[in-house]
Structure formats: C-alpha cells, structure tokens
Amino acid sequence: MGRPPCCDQNGLKKGPWTPEEDIALVSYIQQHGPGNWRSVPANTGLLRCSKSCRLRWTNYLRPGIKRGNFTVQEEKMIIHLQALLGNRWAAIASYLPQRTDNDIKNYWNSHLKKKQTKLGHGLNAQTHDQDDSKGGTQTSIYRGQWERRLQTDIHTAKQALCNALSVNSKPTNGALDHKASPAPYQVASTLFGNYASSTNNISRLLQAWMKKRTPQPNSSENDLRTTAHHARYPENIIANSSYSSDDHNSNMFSGFSSSSDASQSMELQNVKTLTHTHQHPSPSLRGVRPAGVPYGAAEEPPALKCFEKWLLDDGGLAATAAGLDVDFMPMPWPLGEDLPRF
DNA sequence: AAAGCTAGCAACCGCGGTCTG
DNA sequence: GCAGACCGCGGTTGCTAGCTT
C-alpha cells in the first residue's frame, strides 16, 4: 500500500498568493520548519496544494533570498555555469545561494539568452542552448575541461573540509569558513542552522508585517498597496526591517526575536557554533540538493569563493576555451566517471 | 489618452526519482 | 517487492507593468 494522498485536489486555490496566505505559511514554517509539505495545507488551513506551498516558500518566502538586479559577477557566473551545466538551474543556483533556481531561470530566459544570441560568438558557441549533438567534439572537449576544473574545485573544498575537521578547529575568523565544505553527514546540522537563522528573519518579516498592519494615520489605502507590493516584493519587508544579507555573518543572529523564549536562545547559541564549521553541502554535478535542505539565510558555499574566483577569471576561461590545460590538480578519481559522493 | 506590444516574473504543470506503508 | 504518494526539477504559461505607436 502506498501513502495516503497528500491533499484533496478539489477546491484548491491557484494563482497569486495573498499576504494572509504568506503569513499563514511563514507562521507554520516558523513553528515546524520547512519540509513535510503535505501537512502544511492541512495544518494551516491554506487552500493550496503542498506543492504550491513548497514553491512559494523556496522561491519567495525563504529567508536569505536576494532579489532585484543581478550583479555583473552573478551574470558572469550564470553564463559560465550554464555553459558548463546546461539548463540545470538548481545546480546553478547552488553556486548562487542567494538566488533561486526559478529566478536564475527567469533571468536567463529573459536577459542572458537574448544577450548570448546577440553576441552570437564566444561563449555562446559553447552553451547548451545549442543541441549538444550538433555541438561536435569541440563542445565536448570544452565541457570536459570545465568538468575537470569543477571536479578539482570540489576536491579542493573536500580536502579543506577534512583539514578543518581534523584539527577540530575553533575558527576565530572567517578564513577557514570559506575553505571548509560540508559533507552530507553534516546536513542535519546545516539544516538546523539554516532553519534557526531563518526563524530570525521570519520573525522580522512577521514583525514588519504586523507593523504594516497596524493602522497608520491617513494611510489606509497605502497600507493596502504596500501590502500588495510586499506580497509581490517581500524582500522590501526584510530590507525595511534592517536585515541585510551582506552582513549576515555578524548580524544574522544579533537581532533574534526579542520575544524569543529560552529554547530559542539556546538554539541561537548552538547555531552560532554550528555556523562556524558547517556550511553548504557541496553542489553536486547532478544538481540535486539533499532533500529538505534549503540553502538559506544568505549563506555562501565555502567552495564558492575559489570557484567563483576562477569562474570570473577570464584569463583562465580563455585558456580553457582555447584548449590549454591550465593548472589542473591531480584527480583522485578517473575522468569521465561520476563524481564520488562525499 | 487609449490601444497594442513587449518584457519580466510568479506560479503552474508534468515528469522522473525517491520514499513510505 | 510493489504500488502509489511525495518531492524536486525544468519547462511553460499567464498576468502585470511599462513602453511604444
């Protein structure tokens, strides 16, 4: 026998989410954490299917999501990663943890794809927009180089993690953090850390929301508009509540909900400890994030730094594109095989 | 000023892999 | 081991705001 059905498909609401629905969802996740989506509609009274709830959370309400214009660096990374990984947006998004796969996908389709088409040469010639079967050996070679480089980077990150763990480090600065990469056995801790930090931001979001809800003189209509606007652009709520994704390391926990109880405070302490050593899981080439492990709260994968550095290093890219072997590290596993799962 | 067009983005849909009973 | 639900992903659609005519 299978499981019972997650939800009744009849009478479910579709279309844009209302602020009330968002609050209901955020409140529930604040209490129970993300995951177990099938129970969300039943327990919140939302007339939405579990899928819709998950989507709303991961693409929109999840803390740490950066919205708005993409930076030049982000753009470059997306272009390069798309060339390497194809339209595997989740995998690409894992290198841009502040962006959702949906966001990146939309950005690619609406901006970069056209840009690439206009250019007509250069990187575009290597992208997966073209049929791989037509790409010929040139593309294969090119992608092979990229994959080798990516594998190297992951290996570097893995080694850094081993080093970090072996010395049972108590990092006092961020240097080590950026080199350590977590293994899946750390995922539970990562999840905990992410969620706890998320709670902070959700609390702020809720507080900001409640503030907005309190009647302001001569602003009843504006409130409605603001509400609708925040429903569409909730990042502004977070921004208005003085959360900045850029200073998450120092401030992420400093403003933990003033009404938080003792257990939350204890969580906070644990989270502070955890976040010194636990970072994102290494993005895998398969692009499949461990189930229920969101990349939250403006964290940055430690391996990202050097990978990003390399990605944005046009010299390296040019050399690679030209077929030159640029400083590859020895590979611990044979080329062409699947990456080992750490 | 109004109608038509376009771009951007949120949300939906369908598929495949995974998990659970 | 199997059936069927859950979950996550990528593709697509539809709505809205802004721009053009």
For residue A7, say whether its CB is under 7 Å from any atom of strand C.
Answer: yes
Nucleotide nearest to A88 (CA to C1'): C10
Place of tokens 């009647």: A215
* Average pLDDT score over chain A: 54
Contact A304, A69 (CB under 8 A): no
Nucleotide nearest to A35 (CA to C1'): C7
Q: What pLDDT does A309 receive?
A: 57
Closest CA to A84 of A134, A148, A137: A148
**Amino acid A111 CA to nucleotide C20 C1' distance, rounded Å:** 20
pLDDT above 60 (res A53): yes
Residues of chain A above pLDDT 70, percent:
31
Burial class (CB within 10 angstroms; exposed 0-12, middle 13-18, buried 19+) of A64: buried
Q: What is the number of other CB atoms lying within 10 angstroms of the CB of residue A265?
A: 12
Closest CA to A296 of A94, A87, A26: A94
Under the banding of pLDDT at 50, 70 and 90, the label for residue A172 is very low
Residues of A 89-148 whose CB lies less than 7 Å from any atom of strand B:
102-103, 105-107, 109-111, 114
List chain B nucleotides near protein: any atom < 7 Å from a Cβ.
Answer: 7-14, 18-21
DSSP A282: P
Q: What pLDDT does A115 receive?
A: 74
Q: What pLDDT does A33 receive?
A: 81
pLDDT above 80 (res A257): no
Q: Which of A101-105, A131-135, A174-178, A222-226 has the highest mean pLDDT?
A: A101-105
Under the banding of pLDDT at 50, 70 and 90, the label for residue A100 is confident
For residue A60, say whether its CB is under 7 Å from any atom of strand B.
Answer: yes
pLDDT above 80 (res A274): no
Under the banding of pLDDT at 50, 70 and 90, the label for residue A308 is low
Under the banding of pLDDT at 50, 70 and 90, the label for residue A306 is low
